[in-house]
């Protein structure tokens, strides 16, 4: 499993502050590959890119930090430090649910803030609050686009950022001025990531649990039935190991009718292929992003139809539930809007958008008793007692983050 990437780092922040450009500066990969993303010029889906951090044994810090196999300063062969997976989150206000789903598989995050606009912008606030709500603790702030403003403006913006992050999970963390477009200070950023974002300890002995972030069909139209490949799921293994030939269960699964009633049935299949770090392997463990090929009908996995699911050893996954009670913890104010308002208490009969792991669903509040709230879900989830969920409500025409809940038995 040494081939695997060790840590998932998210890139979050306001739209057009340079998250995707920074991903490319670090990895060489442009993650906006969907046709609609190219048309609109913004990220719509989660983007993924893998990169290996390296160091030159001959050069001093920070010049020694690079992603190149050959040092750009002295020509020496560089040495591997760590393999990192990046998760590029969309910054547009209409895509907050996608960002929250991505946050579930982040071990740490880089908050990207443009120096060319006053800080904070609406989604800068909302994304930072989301990291707090989801529980992402390892955060670094990047002040991007410093090449587009005068020195005095960049310094003013820097102090705006310092004031903005006070009292949050980014309070006191490094703020690195860079130009992703020009590649300036990328070596300093790599050094900061190495020093401040440690690879988390994970258990290989626990039963495997895979958060599914993508699912798709790799067969081309017109493929002969005898040559059709099974479906693919991709995501991040939180714990345990998966091996070729293992049986795997996917929950909540698919909707079926049984004696006139609609219910959800989990899917089971056999692992026929494993991919990590662009290599086909026989076994994978936690860390980085992986792909899992199955003997599953590809029609069940196409177009991300299984994204938001959990996969693991049959019989070991949390139960599939369509209603639960939670203890709620609400924010003081609704962020992400120009005119912030107080967060009102949750009340009966209102709809909430609920993010659990990589799942997004809508729940109808059936009862609200102070901080204790009962919800009935439109789509079921695979979740367990004590799990944290992100809560959003409709404010105007958008879903806005209002806090989090803890599922109670």
Query: What is the full DSSP assignment across 222-234?
Result: T--GGGPPPPEEE
What burial class does residue 362 get, using C-beta atoms within 10 Å of its C-beta: 0-12 exposed, 13-18 middle, 19+ buried? middle
The pLDDT assigned to 41 comes to: 38
- Residue 40 tokens, joined: 């609109």
Q: Is the pLDDT of residue 32 over 50?
A: no
Asked, for residue 203, whether it belongs to a domain, the answer is no
Q: How many domains does the chain have?
A: 3
Check which CATH number belongs to the domain holding 376 and give it.
2.40.30.10
Let me know whether 233 and 261 are in one domain.
yes
> In 3-state terms, what secondary structure has residue 194?
helix
Asked whether residue 201 is assigned to any structural domain, the reply reads no
Residues 249 and 274 in one domain: yes
DSSP state of 46: -
Q: Which of 47, 51, 105 is nearest to 355 (CA)?
A: 105
Query: pLDDT at position 86, please?
Result: 86
35 Cβ partners below 8 Å, 6+ apart?
none
Instruction: Specify the pTM.
Output: 0.85
Q: What is the pLDDT of residue 340?
A: 79
Lowest mean pLDDT across 20-29, 143-152, 181-190, 263-272? 20-29
69 and 29 in contact (C-beta within 8 Å)?
A: no
Residue 96 in any domain: the answer is: yes
**Could you tell me if 39 and 181 lie in one domain?**
yes
Q: What is the mean pLDDT of residues 67-71?
A: 93
Identify whether residues 112 and 228 lie together within a single domain.
Answer: no
CA atoms within 13 A on the CB side of 238: 15
85 found inside a domain: yes
Give pLDDT tens digits for 40-55.
Answer: 333 335 677 888 999 9
The torsion region of residue 195 among left (phi > 0), alpha (psi -120 to 50) and beta comes to alpha
Same domain, 300 and 353: no
In sequence order, what are the residues at sequence separation of 6 or more whose Cβ sits closer than 8 angstroms to the Cβ of residue 320?
Answer: 251, 252, 253, 264, 266, 380, 381, 382
Other CB atoms within a 10 A radius of the CB of residue 162 amount to 15
Least confident of 95-104, 340-349, 398-407: 95-104
Over range 106-129, report the average pLDDT.
91
Does residue 206 carry a pLDDT above 80? yes
Residue 108 lies in a domain: yes
- Greater pLDDT, 45 or 393: 393
pLDDT value at 148 more than 90: yes
Average pLDDT value for the chain: 88
Does residue 46 sit in the same domain as residue 135? yes
Q: Is the pLDDT of residue 156 over 70?
A: yes
Q: Which DSSP symbol is given to 178?
A: -
pLDDT tens, position by position, 236-262: 999 999 999 999 999 999 988 887 788
- Domain limit, last residue, from 247, 280, 312: 312
Same domain, 276 and 151: no
pLDDT score recorded for residue 409: 63
39 pLDDT exceeds 90?
A: no
The model's pLDDT over 314-339, given as tens digits with 9 standing for 90+, comes to 999 999 999 999 999 998 888 777 77
Residue at a domain's end among 256, 279, 312 = 312
Name the residue range of residue 227's domain.
209-312
């Amino acid at each position: 499993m040494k081939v695997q990437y060790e840590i998932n780092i998210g890139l979050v922040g306001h739209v057009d502050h340079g998250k995707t450009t920074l991903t490319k500066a670090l990895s060489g990969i442009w993650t906006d590959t969907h046709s609609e993303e190219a048309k609109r010029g913004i990220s719509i889906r989660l983007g993924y890119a893998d990169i290996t951090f390296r160091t030159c044994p001959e050069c001093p810090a920070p010049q020694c930090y690079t992603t190149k196999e050959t040092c750009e300063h002295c020509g020496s062969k560089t040495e591997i430090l760590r393999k990192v997976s990046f998760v590029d989150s969309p910054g547009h206000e209409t895509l907050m649910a996608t960002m929250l789903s991505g946050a579930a598989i982040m071990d740490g995050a880089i908050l990207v803030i443009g120096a060319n606009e006053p800080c904070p912008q609406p989604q800068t606030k909302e994304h930072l609050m989301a990291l707090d709500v989801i529980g992402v603790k390892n955060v670094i702030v990047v002040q991007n686009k410093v090449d587009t403003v005068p020195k005095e403006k960049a310094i003013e913006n820097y102090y705006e950022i310092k004031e903005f992050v006070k009292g949050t999970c980014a309070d006191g963390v490094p703020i690195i001025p860079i130009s992703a477009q020009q590649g300036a200070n990328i070596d300093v950023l790599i050094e900061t990531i190495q020093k401040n974002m440690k690879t988390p300890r994970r258990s290989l002995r626990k039963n495997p649990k895979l958060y599914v972030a993508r699912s798709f069909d790799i067969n081309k139209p017109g493929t002969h039935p005898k040559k059709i490949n099974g479906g693919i799921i991709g995501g991040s293994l939180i714990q345990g190991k998966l091996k070729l030939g293992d049986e795997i269960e996917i929950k909540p699964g698919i909707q079926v009718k049984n004696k006139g009633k609609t219910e959800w049935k989990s899917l089971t299949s056999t692992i026929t292929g494993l991919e990590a770090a662009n290599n086909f392997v026989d076994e994978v463990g936690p860390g980085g992003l992986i792909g899992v090929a199955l003997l599953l009908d590809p029609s069940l996995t196409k177009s991300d139809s299984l994204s938001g699911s959990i996969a693991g050893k049959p019989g070991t996954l949390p139960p599939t539930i369509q209603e639960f009670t939670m203890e709620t913890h609400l924010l003081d104010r609704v962020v992400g809007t120009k005119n912030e308002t107080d967060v009102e208490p949750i009340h009966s009969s209102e709809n909430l958008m609920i993010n659990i792991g990589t799942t997004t669903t809508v729940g109808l509040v059936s009862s609200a008793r102070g901080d204790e709230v009962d919800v009935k879900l439109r789509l079921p989830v695979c979740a367990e007692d004590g799990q944290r969920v992100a809560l959003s409500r409709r404010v105007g025409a958008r879903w806005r983050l209002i806090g989090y809940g803890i599922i109670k038995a």
